[in-house]
Chains A and B, each alone.
Chain A
Amino acid sequence: MIDTNSHVYPIRVGFRSLSGQTRQLLNFYFDSSGADWFQSASDSKTSDCLLVDVDYPGSREILEEDPDGEHSPILVLSFKPLSRDNTVNLIKPLTLHKLELAAREMAVLVAQGKEPTSVQDAPQLQSVLHAHVSTLSQPEQRNTPSAIDRVISRAMGLDQTTTNPEQTDPVALSTVNPVEQLATFIEGDFLSGYLRRALDHATAEAMAFSITTPDIKLCVLPDEARVYTDISLKNTETTRTIYADLNQEQVSVKFFYEQTKSRVAEEINSRKGFSYALEAFIWRSALYSANGRIPDSYDLTRAARLKYWPNFTRLEKSPHCLEIAALWSQHYLSIQDTIAQSDIPLRHVIAFFNGSYALDLFEYKSDQEDEPADPVSTNSWYQTR
């Protein structure tokens, strides 16, 4: 809920270098659902910040006028984030959620610029500042992650100190193990958990099954390695809710025996729907359900090794996935060790782990053995390095 009594909101935005269509779109948003967050400023003198579309001709010159971002904060509309001081990135395509996040971060920048007077004068703002960045006025903590970093960190289930290692105090890094700060989640409460349990049962019994939640209906045919859904999964923004935690009463799982599977397949094929490779769907569900966290039952110190490589030609590739796969296929490593032995950001390792874990691609080192349990060959390059 927005604190409309705050001196921060709505943020007055001066439009600079913007196409007419984008300007109309934003005006409509500012006059409707975004009115609590933003307001169009009549001119740049009365604005709290400027909005610049960097993909619009002439916009670069405006940014170059103030290369250090010392003047008004700038809301940069673009397809790629721009690294610049006193700037909030608003990545296209625009969504209400992105605008809300941008408003929150811009409020902090605006408040920062007015801090000498507004903090003293406005108790509401004091609380806003305290809630968002209580350290803003402390010079030695200038590298504290921005508000948006914290929002993303929370969404990723990470402590903010682990999200952006470059901005973290190196001394703190040497004493705090970021892996230990990882958030966990109860896998069974999410779509990936329901999918995994149902798949285990269906595979053992040679059955098909369906899962119905408030946001998606899906039918899984393990024999054909296919998943059929009633909605397209291409749009990440609109489908993200299907991977949120589920109330058990909202979920229905049904199994189909051998004699009815063909009828199920016929029924699916006769309807409009969407078909996906089962492996890709499991991988995707795991990543979105986990959202940067690890299953609460998983032991971070447990040494694991890739039994099979993920089939990356058919899966959504996460950053550094090949490097992580190479590392994890050669040695038994815990998540902690994998982080320690590579320069790869924690979140990418966690993403890879969750996908591979959901697909059961790992094998685990036996606690009783000193040497790695190795049911597979030891005579290939992948074992001898």
Chain B
Amino acid sequence: MNTQIENTPDVFNIFISGSNNTEISTIIETVCNTSTPINAEEPFDDSDPTEQDTAPSLLTLDENISFNIYTTSEQELSEGSDEANTGIYDGLIILLNGANDSALDVLENHVTEHQELIDSRPFIIGVTQLPTAIVGGINHFRQMLEQLKIRAPLYEIDVTSERDILLLFRTFLACETLP
């Protein structure tokens, strides 16, 4: 009898949260292979994240690793959606707009909203549209994190740069696979 062993690819569910839906859409367009729901023909169970209005997008990093990307809107966030805390996500990416004067408040809201996920899974922060003239640059946001008593990977990113976006996901993998 021939037994064929197949390498099952690792699929991670990543939640992206940010105040700017346009930026999130740009990220998905930049790196995702498809924006159509995956496993759309399969019946949903109660815990299936694809029940959300926003269907996941698929990012295939290589033949062995892919990501289902889920997003939320600012409205859902302000309404106190707790879908991100249900334990179905493997990691969280928070996007901050560097040009926003209230970025600190925005970050605090996101952290509060996703506290359970943050405590249990890797999360990464990307700062978009960081003005070159901002005093302190990325250090300004590092100090913000310190004020909020948060320690997490923080990157300055260009949402149209595939390399920048992929780094967010590779960082997740580095944290996830830590011995």
Which of B9-17, B70-78, B166-174 contacts the other chain? B166-174
Are B142 and A312 neighbours in the complex by a CB distance under 8 Å? Answer: no
Which of A224, A311, A377 is close to B151, meaning CB atoms less than 8 Å apart?
A377
Tell me, in angstroms, the Cα distance from A381 to B164 when the chains sit together: 23
Q: Does A215 contact B (CB under 8 A)?
A: no
Which of B44-52, B60-68, B98-106, B116-124 contacts the other chain? B116-124
Q: Report A-chain residues with C-beta under 8 Å of the C-beta of B149.
A: 376-377, 379
* B 108-149 binary contact with A (CB < 8 Å = 1; else 0): 000000000011111100000000110111110010011011
Are A380 and B155 neighbours in the complex by a CB distance under 8 Å? Answer: no
Tell me, in angstroms, the Cα distance from A224 to B137 when the chains sit together: 8
Which of A224, A307, A379, A383 is close to B133, meaning CB atoms less than 8 Å apart?
A224
Q: Does B38 contact A (CB under 8 A)?
A: no
CB distance from A202 to the nearest CB of B (A): 14
| A-B interface pairs (CB < 8 A), number | 88
* Residue on A nearest B165 in the bound complex, by CB: A313
Q: Does B43 contact A (CB under 8 A)?
A: no
The answer to whether A382 and B152 touch (CB under 8 A), given A223-B135, A279-B138, is yes
Tell me, in angstroms, the Cα distance from A126 to B138 when the chains sit together: 58
Tell me, in angstroms, the Cα distance from A326 to B175 when the chains sit together: 5
Are B174 and A309 neighbours in the complex by a CB distance under 8 Å? Answer: no
Are B151 and A380 neighbours in the complex by a CB distance under 8 Å? Answer: yes
* A 322-341 binary contact with B (CB < 8 Å = 1; else 0): 11011101100000000001
Q: Does B80 contact A (CB under 8 A)?
A: no
CB distance from B44 to the nearest CB of A (A): 28
Q: Report A-chain residues with C-beta under 8 Å of the C-beta of B148.
A: 377
Tell me, in angstroms, the Cα distance from A376 to B143 when the chains sit together: 11
Tell me, in angstroms, the Cα distance from A311 to B164 when the chains sit together: 11
CB distance from A295 to the nearest CB of B (A): 22
Tell me, in angstroms, the Cα distance from A90 to B28 when the chains sit together: 42
Are A308 and B154 neighbours in the complex by a CB distance under 8 Å? Answer: yes
Are A381 and B118 neighbours in the complex by a CB distance under 8 Å? Answer: yes
The answer to whether A341 and B150 touch (CB under 8 A), given A311-B155, A325-B174, is no
CB distance from B88 to the nearest CB of A (A): 16
Are B122 and A381 neighbours in the complex by a CB distance under 8 Å? Answer: yes
Q: Report A-chain residues with C-beta under 8 Å of the C-beta of B135.
A: 223
Q: Does A225 contact B (CB under 8 A)?
A: yes
Q: Does A385 contact B (CB under 8 A)?
A: yes
Q: Does B178 contact A (CB under 8 A)?
A: yes
* Residue on B nearest A226 in the bound complex, by CB: B132
Q: Report A-chain residues with C-beta under 8 Å of the C-beta of B158.
A: 313
Q: Does A271 contact B (CB under 8 A)?
A: no
The answer to whether A329 and B156 touch (CB under 8 A), given A279-B138, A381-B120, A381-B122, is no
CB distance from A326 to the nearest CB of B (A): 4
Q: Does A384 contact B (CB under 8 A)?
A: yes
Are B146 and A376 neighbours in the complex by a CB distance under 8 Å? Answer: yes
Which chain A residues numbered 286 to 345 have a C-beta less than 8 Å away from chain B?
307-309, 311-314, 322-323, 325-327, 329-330, 341-342
Are B154 and A309 neighbours in the complex by a CB distance under 8 Å? Answer: yes
Q: Report A-chain residues with C-beta under 8 Å of the C-beta of B171.
A: 309, 312, 322, 325-326
Are B150 and A377 neighbours in the complex by a CB distance under 8 Å? Answer: yes
* A 221-245 binary contact with B (CB < 8 Å = 1; else 0): 0011110000000000000000000
Are A224 and B132 neighbours in the complex by a CB distance under 8 Å? Answer: yes
Are B154 and A326 neighbours in the complex by a CB distance under 8 Å? Answer: no
Q: Does B157 contact A (CB under 8 A)?
A: yes
Tell me, in angstroms, the Cα distance from A384 to B122 when the chains sit together: 11
Q: Report B-chain residues with C-beta under 8 Å of the C-beta of A326.
A: 171, 174-175, 178
Are A311 and B167 neighbours in the complex by a CB distance under 8 Å? Answer: no
Tell me, in angstroms, the Cα distance from A307 to B153 when the chains sit together: 10
Tell me, in angstroms, the Cα distance from A313 to B122 when the chains sit together: 18
Which of B118, B120, B156 is close to A313, meaning CB atoms less than 8 Å apart?
B156
Tell me, in angstroms, the Cα distance from A329 to B149 when the chains sit together: 14
Besides the known contacts A313-B158, A380-B151, A381-B121, 9 further A-B residue pairs in the complex with CB atoms under 8 A apart? A279-B137, A279-B138, A329-B153, A377-B151, A380-B118, A381-B123, A382-B122, A382-B175, A383-B151
Which 7 residue pairs of A and B lie closest in terms of their CB atoms, listed nearest first? Answer: A377-B149, A322-B174, A309-B153, A225-B137, A326-B174, A313-B155, A308-B142
Residues of B within 8 A of A (CB): 118-123, 132-133, 135-139, 142, 145-146, 148-158, 161, 163-164, 167, 170-171, 173-175, 177-179
Q: List 22 A-B contacts (CB under 8 A).
A: A224-B132, A224-B133, A279-B138, A308-B142, A309-B153, A309-B155, A312-B155, A313-B156, A313-B157, A313-B161, A314-B138, A322-B171, A323-B174, A329-B151, A330-B178, A375-B146, A376-B146, A377-B151, A380-B151, A381-B118, A381-B175, A384-B120
